[in-house]
Structure 1
Amino acid sequence: MSARSTAAAAELVVDAVTVRFAGVTALDGVSFTVGTAAIHAVIGPNGAGKSTLFNVVSGAYRPASGSVRFRGADLTRLRPHRIAGLGVARTFQNIALLASESVEENLMIGRHRLTRTGFVAAALRTPPARREDRRHRVRAREIAGFLGLGGKLDIAAGELSYGDQKRVEIARALCVEPALLLLDEPAAGMNAHETAAMGRLIRDIRDDLQIPVLLVEHDMGLVMGIADRVTVLDFGRRLADGTPAEIQHDPAVQDAYLGTDDSDSPGEGS
């Protein structure tokens, strides 16, 4: 089924997106859809175009052709802050927290887009500004509690474990009150226990908050365990798109990425 034919039932529609850099085609006519409250994974070897795709969806890159639509709005020519304003939030592969600031202050950065108090009123700490600040802090604490960070709000982000720092990044993205969450390798660098916990958290976000999730991830155990649908990229092209079971049994995917020997454990693409 084409991206166009499923647009009415999809939150995000990526339609025939092509991206070129100095004559090199990073994405070549890639199409897929992300359904309502779905976990959709994008996988592929290093250099397959996964990060480029994320940068197109979030507005950092503009495609040479094709389009990206979210809830009917065309994101293709919008700047990143406009896309964020439509409810698209993302995390990054490399942790980008303010290490010396508390967890709570890091989360409050995510509330900035929702703040209505002007700069002068905020600087003067007027009564309306203080009331709004309290409301945002209450919500930030609720989100922290949902992610298991409720007891760590006063701790400097840089003092947390690696896994908890990843959770803070996701919490900060949720503080934007997103309608779509983009997760860039959320389990990168984690041990098996942390990865399993991350998988449960992503499912909770989808199930409890009803937020569709688009993630790029190398850990195939995580992907196959939580994704509703998987898109496979290879050399910038869509190699396959389907359920985890369909992807695991797709001969082209096995040859290009997963490996044909059933005794091998799928690992990171290289």
Structure 2
Amino acid sequence: MFQYLIPQAEKDSGLQSQQLTISESALNTLIKRYCRESGVRNLQKHIEKIVRKCVFKMVNAEVQPPIRIDEEKDLIELLGQPVWPTDRLYELDTPPGVVMGLAWTAMGGSVLYIECANKPSTKDSGALQLTGSLGKVMQESVSIAHTFAMKFASLQAPCADSKLISPDEAESASKFLAKSQLHLHVPQGATPKDGPSAGITMVTALLSLALKRPVRMNLAMTGEVSLTGKVLPVGGIKEKVIAAKRSGVDCIIMPEYNRKDFDDLQDFIKSDLQVHFVSNYSEVFPIAFASRPN
């Protein structure tokens, strides 16, 4: 691809061979930070812009050939600030109440954080406020997640590892979710969001807040959840897995129903990833909260 795009842009701008070199690292940064769309049209436009600006600098004697573009700062000088400056809103551990999900849009896959907080209130009845430009289906998904999280906690979080949560913790979490004034937000509020695939992510974020426990590092998840805790299939598995790898995720939770979608991916996409396929939320909980704090 680059063997065609770069020489063609150089030819169109009158550059001679070897007067401009764009390193592989810079090209990867160009794709990740400026040109995530499917196809190469936008990438071609950015390469042409880089070449034209380099020619302009040469003509005005601002630089002498050969020019080499190696780092992100070189791209910023020529193209301005990145469209996607970072993949992760939280570079280190996420605090209690925050969980990384995976989304699928027309631009490809991306990480999608779910943030939950408790609002100080004198009321003794629970409520749930939603922000982040959520569509109708996603709002319904939040309601399902809230109801199931309360039920799951009231049943003492039934899962394979009973040592992850004590009866007192489970009872406290259930009461917290039922009586607290909660606020659930999905960042990048100007971007409309919809769909049910963040269901297990929302349940995990609510339980994380109620238990005052963060989830494990570098974990992302996707999957619709039902009122009984069943984890249902979602779309965009390839795009979501690529987004997870791009963001430094090494552990993914996804529906068992999507196992074939994952198995069909190329090996280089699947490499260095620990993937858990789940059918019920009781399988999600011990993975997300892998160890109980002392």
TM-score range, shorter chain: under 0.3
Q: Report which structure shows greater RCO (CA 8 Å, sep ≥6).
A: 1
Bigger Rg, structure 1 or 2:
2
Q: TM-score, normalised by structure 2?
A: 0.26
Higher strand share: 1
